[in-house]
Structure 1
Amino acid sequence: MSNPFLEPSTLDYQLPPFAAIRDEHYLPAFDAGFAEHLAEIDSITGSGEPASFENTLVALERAGGTLDRVARVFFSNSVSHATEAVQELEQQIAPRVAEHEDNVLLNRALFERLRQVPVDGLDEESARLVEEYLRRFVRAGAELDDDAQATLRRLNAELSALSTEFSQKLLKDTNDSALLLGTAEELDGLSADAISAAATAASDAGHPGKYLLTLILPTAQPALESLTDRDVRRRLHEASVTRGARGNDADTLAVAVRMTALRAERAALLGFDTHAAAATDNQTAPSLEAIMDRMRELAAPAVRNARAEAAELEAEAGHAIEPWDWAYYAAKVRKAKFDVDLEALRPYFELERVLQDGVFYAAHRLYGLSFTERPDLAGYHPDVRVWEVFNEDGSGLGLFLGDFYTRDTKKGGAWMNSFVDQSRLEGTRAVVINNLNISMPGAGEPTLLSYDQVVTLFHEFGHALHGLFSDVTFPLFAGTSVPRDFVEYPSQVNEMWILWPEVIAHYARHHETGEALPQDVIDRLHAAGAWGEGFETTAYLGATLLDLAWHSLPAGTVIEDPLAFEAAALADAGVDFAPVPPRYRTSYFSHIFAGGYAASYYAYIWSEMLDADTVEWFKSSGGLTRENGDHFRRELLSRGNGIDPLEAFRRFRGRDAELQPLLVRRGLA
């Protein structure tokens, strides 16, 4: 059988031919891809013609097709469907990819040729491409001497291997830490569909007749809001916060410590004081100091609000609040203060209806999009579904894939990936996927979402829209290829449509009766919107400041006890409020040790400043209208990184973002 990666896919939109892909195709395709890419680069550097934009930059953008095709599929599968075979392959492939990237970015002949490319007369995106390539080569170490580059290669190779190790160990320990219960009585408080899902999970794991509460990636586990048995809540919480730190063969702490040390050493080699300084040097935030100042500015009022919330919870509970009590009593206080019971809303949030009549409907109203499911196009797993997305004029925009259910081979959390980037140069349109981790219901039962899962569905589709709407010439700038502290902004904006009157009236209907969610309930949801922001902001800032603490260590620092370091970092930052642990602890902080967010987890709240300001613009400009959608799409969502993202924001908004809307939203004004 021929290797399907060696030629561009002939499927619609160049969707990877998943039905033809086998594990044995990956290594030969990577081998061929590495060789092809290096040969193409040799052709660029060996040209006898003077360096020009066409024969250097355009040629470089066109290079590496085979490698790009196989890498996108393989590394998507390494987090979405990480079978034992894929994990074994990743251990071999990841260091070789790091080595190949160094072979490209440390290529002195290529760097020198890039520096010779004249920029006079180039259009805005082309001039930015030259600037971006030069910046990337310098940041990758192209100007270092041979000895320093050799050290850099060693560091990059080890970091790549360690990132894979962290990810695989965390997946194993997350699966192993799921809470197995023997009786349905221990699940008292959970809905019937949640109990059924726990029974299905236990049966699938080889424990028929029992119940398995699987873990999601963040500290807070959804079942804690409903479980009436306090000891079961405690056990579930402790299972969550001890993942990766249990001293077993899946312990991740030593890996995390080693990674932070290597990152610090690499940053020093590249001329930075710390990895945090290096990672934030090319973001939209003006400086690391500005980031730290903003996080500390938010921390004190956030913790103050969390303490006030805790006092209300203790009054309700009649005892001191432990971390495993918070969600349970917060639900009771929310019910008492606002008459809002989030668990009671689940029958109104059936997955298919929320997706079709909520997420897709909002995109139709705002941007004129329509969606047609394509069962003739296969995904990489039977759970994956494929939709073709059309513009209002009927032209094809791209493909959207959805992989919504959890499984043992999928890492926790939710994310968007791209299988094909839009590019006018290559004539390609976007193929993107959203991954969630929703529990599979029992056979024949509906998939009912929590309110948080509805938020996640809208959020991740905001990332998908950012990819689908890309309208750039060069692949390097496509879609979500923007600074880390900007990329969350479009996805956060898309959350605003969840409770928008025309949208929620269209999707929030009881899955059995078809009854619409009553307007008075929606009104109470709005009223309760700021309740709990003390907890949410404190938990988020705890993770953010922990990330920055790990990556502000100078080279040569030795951390003997990572958990003691974690506790001290939270205390030093003023976010060590015991009932509110950080959203992620070191041992399961996949974002920063296996996900590209090292020293960048601050990006969520930095992006939220733009988001909150944009929501105010939509509200003051008429809301869910085609005119507003077209303006947002044209000036911002379509731009990718083809222009400075903050300049794109200014063209959309007419000015820089203001902080006040965020402070009001978070209850910090």
Structure 2
Amino acid sequence: MTDASNPLLSPSPLPYLLPQYAKIRPEHYLPAFEEAFEEHLAEVAAVTRVRSAPTFENTMAPLEASGRLLGDVARAFYTVASADATDEIQAVEETLAPLMAAHQDAIALDGALYARITALHEQLDRLGLDAEQRYLVQRWHREMTHAGAGLDDEAKATLTELNTTLSTLTTTFEKNLLADTNDLAVVFDDVAELDGLSEAELSATAQAAAERGLDGKYLVTLVLPTGHPHLSALTRRDARERIMAASRARGSRGNAHDNRAVLTRIARLRAQRAELLGYPSHTAYVTADETAGNPEAVRDLLHRLAVPAARNAQREQAALQAAIDAGDAPFALAAHDWAFYTEKVRQAEYAIDTAALRPWFEAERVLQDGVFYAANQLYGVTFTERPDLHAYHPDARVFEVHNADGSEQGLYVLDLYTRDTKRGGAWMNSIVDQSGLLNTKAVVVNNLNVSKPAAGQRTLLTLDEVNTLFHEFGHALHGLFATVTYPHFAGTEVFRDFVEFPSQVNEMWVFWPEVVDHYARHVDTGEPLPAEIVQKLQSSETFNQGFATSEYLAAAWLDQAWHLQGASAADVDVAQFEAAALAEIGLDNPVVPTRYSSTYFAHIFSGGYSAGYYSYIWSEVLDADSVQWFKDNGGLTRANGDRFRQRLLGVGGSKDPLEAYRDFRGRDAEIQPLLDRRGLA
């Protein structure tokens, strides 16, 4: 394959360097990666061959400019591998995983490169660098040291072997999960079994069935978390039980997609790698280069929150059981009943039926008049759809982003709907990174997994999906607004336990008065969501937070438990290990299952959150404290938005994140706003 015939091997002619997805075929990726690997190694070798003493100009600047082709190809591919993983793409990913791991190690463990960067690091105070350049040297030195660049050759060889094997295993975990999730989608023969779902939801299930050749039937596809949005509405208990059972069975059925042996081996190999690098556990290794600093800080926070969360969940459970007991045929509350009876109790206590709110959350209006509107009011940015620009899938829409002065900021891609080739959950990723050095602007993507209604019907979101869209858009803004010189700091390239902070802050606008009044309009009548409903939703903020906090903390604790094991830990039974871990922290309530069981815990076994799932609650301390700042300073104003953009979002990873937070807030974050928000004070 020649460069001319492979659209990945030459700069894209499209605006903002958006890849020419219309021309890219699966067979283009591996040849492009092979050429990009070779080019990157040659560029780094040119840096290390320089005979003169290391300087920022002859070492760091060319190092940051290196690997551009690889970055372009990788971001183009992994965007598709997550959102449209056809069999051909999955085959490419399986072949690529060990090759990518080996290449990353070749750079991160390069002794000659490490020596040059170490020499710069040792004379940092005498180099006359600006703040971003200085931090770049510090981060490269820290990251290479952390990766094992200081090990001897024998240890490096062992480390490379471990990393290569782990890359293959994590890819296998993700492939197994996608396949089993598709296999376990629940088929209903009779629409009566789905009583309680809205017309739009029924349309989506019929459409999903038709796409699999199951005409006349109804298919409920599974979401990534243990719970499912339909559980809050389905009146038939047997239907709820079937969906919950299917969800919890993923990756543990003893079939070809079973993830138990895969995940236990991943945990063991990570522990061995940590020991090789001088750490007692993978958690100790990970947290050493995060804002948390050590596993003890994480354990302390999780323990501090788990006790009141479990207590609140038990109180909520008693209220749900009382609602059941008041009915004609009482029974013992089970996990698949929680969401349904939570809505009944919510209606009784607050006169709110969240399922009935969907007509006020039409997807296009939420996007245009909610998500985009809040960003415009805060930051002055505008979003203009570009139907002439095509992304990797027909459902992925492209928007051009401009600042208040008309200057170009980048592209935003929204891929809203679920499909069999898309992994579960919701996420943001970058297709093109912003960099002053490379003269590039950001192209970012938001992916959700909303059920797609039949043609001609409008998409109505659940309240959770509205919140998720605002959350993921917060990541997108971080990626769009970061304005740095060096690619190393682009977009969301910040510490893992800080990266969720900006996205969580963006959730505050969901029910901010000016914002909700602008987008929450009835799909048929245009009437606004009544003010008293909005007030009730706000006043019920701590409702069901015992459950929500407990299920999250249980997952965060499972992550810690798997990754606190030492290299000599014995093989374990996954179910028994989970039970023991949850009992240890007091979150072993069978009616409140963990948000993710191990066999479908993609965040930690195939994503980037291993030993880091605590990051959401860790970041929420900063988030809740920031929300309080916005409330104290006038809320949705350009002045507030500009301050947040300039001092936090705009710096990307070019500054210590806690230093950036102090620059924005004027002090360190306080935990009390988080405790109040979650009813844990």
Query: How does the TM-score come out when normalised to structure 2?
Result: 0.98
Q: Which residue of 1 aligns with 2:584?
A: 572
Alignment deviations for residues 475-515 of structure 1 (CA, whole Å, 9 cap, x no partner): 10111000011000000000000001110111001111111
Task: Please state if 1:445 is matched with 2:470.
Answer: no
Q: Which residue of 1 aligns with 2:333?
A: 321
Q: Is the 8 A contact 1:360 1:370 kept in 2?
A: yes
- Residue 10 of structure 1: CA displacement? 2.0
Q: Distance in 1 between matches of 2:6 and 2:118?
A: 37
Equivalence map 1:142-181=2 (5 Å): 142-181=149-188
Q: Distance in 2 between matches of 1:493 and 1:111?
A: 38
Equivalence map 1:216-295=2 (5 Å): 216-295=223-302
- Residue 286 of structure 1: CA displacement? 3.5
| Range that drifts further, 553-562 or 466-475 | 553-562
Counterpart of 2:177, as a letter, is L
Task: Please state if 1:22 is matched with 2:41.
Answer: no
Task: Please state if 1:210 is matched with 2:217.
Answer: yes
Q: Distance in 2 between matches of 1:67 and 1:472?
A: 20
Q: Choose the corresponding residue for 1:639, options 635, 651, 671.
A: 651
Q: Distance in 1 between matches of 2:346 and 2:257?
A: 38
Equivalence map 1:121-520=2 (5 Å): 121-318=128-325, 319-520=331-532
Q: Choose the corresponding residue for 2:10, options 1, 7, 10.
A: 7
Q: Structure 2 regions of 5+ residues with no counterpart?
A: 326-330
- Residue 563 of structure 1: CA displacement? 1.1
- Residue 560 of structure 1: CA displacement? 3.1
Equivalence map 1:577-656=2 (5 Å): 577-656=589-668
Q: Is the 8 A contact 1:87 1:168 kept in 2?
A: yes
Q: Choose the corresponding residue for 1:48, options 47, 51, 56.
A: 51
- Residue 638 of structure 1: CA displacement? 0.3
- DSSP 3-state at the match of 2:90: helix
Counterpart of 1:639, as a letter, is V
Counterpart of 1:93, as a letter, is L
Q: Choose the corresponding residue for 1:59, options 59, 62, 72.
A: 62
| Range that drifts further, 184-193 or 104-113 | 104-113
- Residue 24 of structure 1: CA displacement? 1.3
Counterpart of 1:435, as a letter, is N
Q: Distance in 2 between matches of 1:381 and 1:250?
A: 26
- DSSP 3-state at the match of 2:410: strand
- Residue 290 of structure 1: CA displacement? 1.1
Counterpart of 1:391, as a letter, is N
Q: Distance in 2 between matches of 1:411 and 1:629?
A: 33
Counterpart of 1:38, as a letter, is L
Q: Choose the corresponding residue for 1:85, options 83, 88, 98.
A: 88
- Residue 75 of structure 1: CA displacement? 1.2
How many residue pairs match? The answer is 669
Q: Is the 8 A contact 1:199 1:211 kept in 2?
A: yes
Alignment deviations for residues 117-157 of structure 1 (CA, whole Å, 9 cap, x no partner): 24321111101111111111111111111111111011000
Alignment deviations for residues 537-575 of structure 1 (CA, whole Å, 9 cap, x no partner): 000000000000000000021223111111111111111
Q: Which residue of 1 aligns with 2:41?
A: 38
Counterpart of 1:290, as a letter, is A
- DSSP 3-state at the match of 2:599: helix
Q: Distance in 2 between matches of 1:200 and 1:332?
A: 29
Q: Which residue of 1 aligns with 2:669?
A: 657
Q: Distance in 1 between matches of 2:491 and 2:174?
A: 26
- DSSP 3-state at the match of 1:19: coil
Q: Distance in 2 between matches of 1:41 and 1:639?
A: 26
- DSSP 3-state at the match of 1:147: helix
Q: Distance in 2 between matches of 1:330 and 1:96?
A: 48
Q: Which residue of 2 aligns with 1:69?
A: 72
- DSSP 3-state at the match of 2:29: helix
Task: Please state if 1:527 is matched with 2:539.
Answer: yes
| Range that drifts further, 47-56 or 585-594 | 47-56
Q: Is the 8 A contact 1:199 1:212 kept in 2?
A: yes
Alignment deviations for residues 578-607 of structure 1 (CA, whole Å, 9 cap, x no partner): 100000000000000011100000000000
- DSSP 3-state at the match of 2:596: coil
- DSSP 3-state at the match of 1:498: helix
- Give identity over the alignment, percent: 56
Counterpart of 2:520, as a letter, is A
Alignment deviations for residues 192-245 of structure 1 (CA, whole Å, 9 cap, x no partner): 110111011011111110000100000010110011110111111010111111
- DSSP 3-state at the match of 1:246: coil
Task: Please state if 1:102 is matched with 2:109.
Answer: no
Q: Which residue of 1 aligns with 2:328?
A: none
Q: Is the 8 A contact 1:559 1:565 kept in 2?
A: no
Q: Is the 8 A contact 1:467 1:480 kept in 2?
A: yes
Task: Please state if 1:556 is matched with 2:568.
Answer: yes
Q: Distance in 2 between matches of 1:43 and 1:9?
A: 26
Query: How does the TM-score come out when normalised to structure 1?
Result: 0.99
Counterpart of 2:561, as a letter, is A
Alignment deviations for residues 369-415 of structure 1 (CA, whole Å, 9 cap, x no partner): 11110011110001010000000000011100000000000000000
Q: Distance in 2 between matches of 1:324 and 1:466?
A: 36
- Residue 23 of structure 1: CA displacement? 1.0
- DSSP 3-state at the match of 1:78: helix
Q: Distance in 2 between matches of 1:566 and 1:151?
A: 30
- Residue 2 of structure 1: CA displacement? 2.0
Q: Distance in 2 between matches of 1:213 and 1:389?
A: 36
Q: Is the 8 A contact 1:340 1:528 kept in 2?
A: no
- DSSP 3-state at the match of 2:205: helix
Q: Structure 1 regions of 5+ residues with no counterpart?
A: none
